[in-house]
Amino acid sequence: MLAPAQTLAVPSRAGGALRAVVPWVLIVALALALPHIVPGGFGLSLLCRIGIAIVFALSFNMLLGQGGMLDFGHAVFLGLGGFLAMHGMKLADDGWWLPLPLLPVAGAAGGLLAAIAAGWIATRRAGTAFAMITLGVAEMVVAIVLLLPGVFGGEEGLSGDRSGGPPVLGWDFGTQMQAYHLIAAWALGCALLMWLYTRTPLGRLANAVRDNAERVSFLGYNPARIRWLVFMLSGLFAGVAGGLAALNDEIITSGKLGAGESSSVLLMTFIGGIGTFWGPVLGAVLVTFLAVALSTITDAWQLYSGLLFIAMVVWAPGGLSGIILAHLPLARAGRLGRVVPGYLACVPGTVLALAGTVGLAELAFRLQAVRNGASPRPVFGWTADPVSIVPWLLALALLAAGALLLRRTAPAARVAWQEASVAAAAP
Amino acid sequence: MEQAVLIVLNSLVYGLLLFMLSVGLTLIFGMMGVLNLAHASFYMLGAFLAYTISIRLGFWVALLVVPVLVGILGAVVERWGLRAVHKHGHVAELLFTFGLAFIIGEVVPLIWGRNPVPYRVPAELDFALFQIGGNSYPAYRLFMMGVAIVMFLALFLALARTRLGLVVRAALTHPDMVGMLGHDVPKVFTLVFGAGCALAGLAGVIAGNAYTTEPGMAQSLGAIVFAVVVMGGLGSIWGALVASLLIGFVQVGSISLDLTLGAALGRMGVAVPGTFTDLWSISIARVAPVLPYLLLVLVLAVRPRGLMGTRSA
């Protein structure tokens, strides 16, 4: 089982309801405070992108983690919602009364309509067949979008002006700060709605279909119909994310529908952890930040995120949230100290292996640059000559040394964790 | 008339190429239940490796060496990666092969650059076989067909006449029973996965110089291969052959037809409406790339077992 079943926390007293509300209040406070903590326009646009990614990743996890459905074409809903919202923005520019805060509703409508159509075909099957259908549908939609330049703007896409619409409470949303507050409000609202959905009977049934669809049909429900409903909701929220993206970037192209965005959200959600509600949030924050931060210092950041993804698939399929949850019982029982030495012993091996991998990737990029005649960017201020064999051998040696060290130290760390878990679980 | 002959020849070549790619994939899925999303990436890797080896050691050395290299890589990936993920279920296996495809798609432009590489047909085969429709038909295409047919015969004989082939065919439908009879089923899986990847690599060697060799080739061919495999039936080699020839014919035929929807309506005497002008100016040739995906979706929705499949997707 890839994703553990979520536990239902039923508040048995008034204090329980308060405990459920407090985290949300804290999150709202954090959202209001963040633009003042994070400096500059760059930080603000990063926060906006993270907000959009959070909604997108949460909607994706409605399918993957909660419903057991692997969707390879989720960006279709993002893109179609974005295009519909962009048309709304252009209409608002032309004088129609369409206030900007309501445009993500158009995005939701676009995502929902697309999900109804695509879901009708896709949810008739489960598992691998479902994944392949979504792949096929996504490619079809991308091809069709490029064939209709009148509606979708062709290669350059559509662009608009978010301050062209009617002002709301004195705001025209021209500045990034105002756009941030709009995006944050929508992101929080959608996250709350998606969290409440997990507590509804449909949300629970989706988990049941994920775990044992045959049993659900014996209970009297139609698993395909449940999957279709969940697919529709997921598409709706992805459409909202698309509308927010159209609003934030003030342009939308066919690239938003494509394999790049679909892969990106899959990586984000999986790295964050599909077994919890908040895992995708963590993944969205981390991967967006890495993408923006790493892309300024290296060209190989896509490769690194892919390697991280595949490492998690093999060794930590619960994602980051899975790792955190696995250590919570230890922390509660005070046994965390037992595993720390084992983990520390793994650090040198990990660092060496990482250094070797990064070295190989960066050398390869520099070799490309040198072959094309450009001068390569130095890594951390160190320029190596990619043509000579020496740096390559050095990087390979680092990687080999790191791998060997890890092979030596990892089993001990795993045993320490297992013993600590057993001790923590003992009464 | 000559146009029709040309279409038939080209669709035979393309169809047999698709068959070379899909037979490995269908065997892997039929036996192990895992759809190798990285299959087209191994094809791409084969083409690029063949380019590098052919400019140093010649095409014929590449033809022999590259499939072996790619096969070994596939076997290593299966033994150390896929087998570890197997216990986490089908979704995890799909995610693993997806991650693998992603990584190969990043590593190839890292090593060879983002532009197409000049992987050329070898001089010995670079002549015109005959003239048709005013153009010369290259002899290399016949060579491609020949290699594909030889490969099919070799595979067929290996599966039908050897003891190992017997074990493989049994493990296709009854892996547990084969294990209980004392055969090392995980080793058989590794062998089949490696052989499938070797076939994909061979397809890359053959096709890389006839069509372009560039980092996007895995993505463009990937979905078509899945369509072929799904249509033919997961696990059936004959199904893969029929489906690849069919889809090859549909692809090549539709690209050659430059008919637009509006022109078709006009021929029937119907006036083209003023609205949705984009729609009426779409020609079949431009819709051609979409057709394999459409077939994929339809087959999966209506009959997941495909034409001759042994197990459903």
Tens of pLDDT along A200-235?
999 999 999 999 999 999 999 999 999 999 999 999
- Across A331-335, B30-34, B39-43, B239-243, the highest mean pLDDT is recorded for B39-43
Cα–Cα distance list, B52 to A161, A393, B119 (Å): 50, 21, 8
Residue from the list B84, B226, B294 with its beta carbon closest to the beta carbon of A140? B294
Is B6 exposed, middle or buried (CB count within 10 Å of its CB: 0-12, 13-18, 19+)? Answer: middle
**Helix, strand or coil for residue A374?**
coil
Cα–Cα distance list, A87 to A72, A92, A95, A235, B277 (Å): 26, 9, 13, 19, 19
- Across B51-65, B126-140, B227-241, the highest mean pLDDT is recorded for B51-65
Average pLDDT, chain A: 87
| A296 touches A380 (CB < 8 A) | no
How many CA atoms lie less than 13 Å away from B231 in the CB half-sphere? 27
What are the φ/ψ torsions at residue B131 (nearest 5 degrees)? -100, 135
Q: How far is B6 from chain A (nearest CA, A)?
A: 27
Predicted confidence at residue B66, as pLDDT, reads: 95
Q: Which of A264, A252, A251, A262 lies closest to A295, judged by CA?
A: A264
Q: Which of A62, A370, A407 lies closest to A204, judged by CA?
A: A62
Of A125, A254, A314, A370, which to mutate for an interface test with B (greatest number of B Cβ within 10 Å)?
A314
Set of chain B residues whose Cβ sits within 8 Å of the Cβ of A372? 113
| B232 touches B22 (CB < 8 A) | yes
A138-147, A396-405, B166-175: which has the minimum mean pLDDT?
A: B166-175
Percent of chain B with pLDDT over 90: 25
Q: How far apart are CA B307 and CA B299, in angstroms?
A: 9
Residue from the list B88, B102, B226 with its beta carbon closest to the beta carbon of A306? B102
Q: Which two tokens stand for residue B7?
A: 């279409």
Average pLDDT, integer, range A223-252: 95
Of B95, B106, B224, B228, which to mutate for an interface test with A (greatest number of A Cβ within 10 Å)?
B95
Set of chain A residues whose Cβ sits within 8 Å of the Cβ of B113? 368, 371-372
Set of chain A residues whose Cβ sits within 8 Å of the Cβ of B106? 300, 302-303, 306
CB contact under 8 A, B313 and A128: yes
CB contact under 8 A, B96 and A147: no
Q: How far apart are CA B39 and CA B36, in angstroms?
A: 6
Residue from the list A124, A128, A137 with its beta carbon closest to the beta carbon of B90? A128
Predicted confidence at residue A383, as pLDDT, reads: 64
Residue A177's contacts (CB-CB under 8 Å, 6 or more residues apart) are A35, A44
**CA-nearest residue of chain B to A125?**
B301
CB contact under 8 A, A136 and B293: yes
Is B46 exposed, middle or buried (CB count within 10 Å of its CB: 0-12, 13-18, 19+)? Answer: buried
Kindly provide the b/e burial profile for residues A34-52, where b requires at least 16 CB atoms within 10 angstroms of the residue's own CB. bbeeeeeeeebbbbbbbbb
DSSP A145-206: HHH-HHHH-TTT-EE--GGGS--BTTB---SHHHHHHHHHHHHHHHHHHHHHHHTSHHHHHH
Residue from the list A124, A306, A372 with its beta carbon closest to the beta carbon of B106? A306
Residue from the list B230, B282, B297 with its beta carbon closest to the beta carbon of A147? B282
CB contact under 8 A, A139 and B103: no
Residue from the list A127, A143, A361 with its beta carbon closest to the beta carbon of B90? A127
Average pLDDT, integer, range B54-83: 92
Residue from the list B95, B226, B301 with its beta carbon closest to the beta carbon of A124? B301
| A199 touches A75 (CB < 8 A) | no
- Longest C-alpha distance within chain A, in Å? 70
Residue A178's contacts (CB-CB under 8 Å, 6 or more residues apart) are A171, A172
Predicted confidence at residue B271, as pLDDT, reads: 64
Q: What is the CA radius of gyration of chain A?
A: 24
State yes or no: pLDDT of A161 exceeds 90.
no
Residue, of A59 and A420, whose pLDDT is higher: A59
Q: Which amino acid is at B87?
A: K
Confidence at B267, pLDDT banded by 50, 70, 90 = low
Residue, of A386 and B227, whose pLDDT is higher: B227
Q: Which two tokens stand for residue B187?
A: 């080793």
| A330 touches A350 (CB < 8 A) | no
**pLDDT tens digit string along B192-226?**
999 999 999 999 999 888 888 888 888 878 888 98
Q: Which of A136, A118, A209, A210 lies closest to B304, judged by CA?
A: A136
State yes or no: pLDDT of A265 exceeds 90.
yes
For chain B, the residues whose C-beta falls within 8 A of a C-beta of chain A are 35, 81, 84-85, 88-92, 94-96, 98-100, 102-103, 106-107, 110-111, 113, 219, 223, 226-227, 230, 277-279, 282, 286-287, 289-290, 293-294, 296-297, 300-301, 304, 312-313
Q: Which of B33, B8, B7, B29 lies closest to B228, judged by CA?
A: B29
Q: How far apart are CA A335 and CA A138, in angstroms?
A: 48
| B109 touches A284 (CB < 8 A) | no
Q: Which two tokens stand for residue A310?
A: 């595949």
Which residues partner with B137 through β-bridges? Answer: B130
Average pLDDT, chain B: 84
Q: Which two tokens stand for residue A67?
A: 């419903």
Q: Which two tokens stand for residue A12?
A: 């048995």
Cα–Cα distance list, A20 to A63, A202, A241, B121, B275 (Å): 24, 20, 25, 68, 53
Average pLDDT, integer, range B156-174: 86
Set of chain B residues whose Cβ sits within 8 Å of the Cβ of A61? none
Q: Which of B149, B169, B141 lies closest to B5, judged by CA?
A: B141
Residue, of A360 and A207, whose pLDDT is higher: A207
Cα A57–Cα A61–Cα A62 angle in degrees, nearest 5: 120
| A252 touches A294 (CB < 8 A) | no
Q: How far is A309 from chain B (nearest CA, A)?
A: 7
State yes or no: pLDDT of A419 exceeds 90.
no
Q: How far is B232 from chain A (nearest CA, A)?
A: 14
Cα A134–Cα A274–Cα A339 angle in degrees, nearest 5: 150
Q: How far apart are CA A360 and CA A382, in angstroms?
A: 14
CB contact under 8 A, A136 and B289: no
Q: How far apart are CA B55 and CA B112, in angstroms?
A: 14
Cα–Cα distance list, A277 to A6, A22, A321 (Å): 9, 16, 9
Residue from the list A72, A148, A310 with its beta carbon closest to the beta carbon of B278? A148
Kindly provide the b/e burial profile for residues A372-408, where b requires at least 16 CB atoms within 10 angstroms of the residue's own CB. eeeebeebeeeebebeeeebbebbeebbebbeebbee
Q: Which amino acid is at B174?
A: H
Q: How far is A311 from chain B (nearest CA, A)?
A: 9
Residue from the list A150, A303, A314 with its beta carbon closest to the beta carbon of B107? A303
Q: How far is A40 from chain B (nearest CA, A)?
A: 32
Of A310, A370, A414, which to mutate for an interface test with B (greatest number of B Cβ within 10 Å)?
A310
Q: How far apart are CA A392 and CA A351, in angstroms?
A: 17
Confidence at B110, pLDDT banded by 50, 70, 90 = confident
**pLDDT tens digit string along A272-286?**
999 999 999 999 999
Total CB pairs under 8 A between chain A and B: 122
Average pLDDT, integer, range B103-121: 88
State yes or no: pLDDT of A1 exceeds 50.
no
Confidence at A129, pLDDT banded by 50, 70, 90 = confident
Q: How far apart are CA A185 and CA A265, in angstroms?
A: 21
CB contact under 8 A, A133 and B301: yes
Q: How far apart are CA A252 and CA B150, in angstroms?
A: 49
**Helix, strand or coil for residue B128?**
strand
Of B26, B290, B295, which to mutate for an interface test with A (greatest number of A Cβ within 10 Å)?
B290
State yes or no: pLDDT of A337 exceeds 60.
yes
- Across A6-10, A151-155, A164-168, B17-21, the highest mean pLDDT is recorded for B17-21
Answer positive or negative: Cα dihedral of A371, A373, A377, A383.
positive
Residue from the list B219, B227, B304 with its beta carbon closest to the beta carbon of A129? B304
Q: How far is A209 from chain B (nearest CA, A)?
A: 15
**pLDDT tens digit string along A67-119?**
999 999 999 999 999 999 999 998 888 888 888 888 999 999 999 999 999 99
CA B159 to chain centre: 20
Predicted confidence at residue B220, as pLDDT, reads: 79
Set of chain B residues whose Cβ sits within 8 Å of the Cβ of A231? none
Q: How far apart are CA B125 and CA A343, in angstroms?
A: 59
Q: Which of B245, B146, B158 lies closest to B195, judged by CA?
A: B158
Predicted confidence at residue A11, as pLDDT, reads: 46
ipTM for this model: 0.87
CB contact under 8 A, A132 and B296: yes
- Across A194-208, A354-368, A369-383, A403-417, the highest mean pLDDT is recorded for A194-208
Percent of chain A with pLDDT over 70: 93
Predicted confidence at residue A15, as pLDDT, reads: 66
Predicted confidence at residue B280, as pLDDT, reads: 64
CB contact under 8 A, A136 and B297: yes
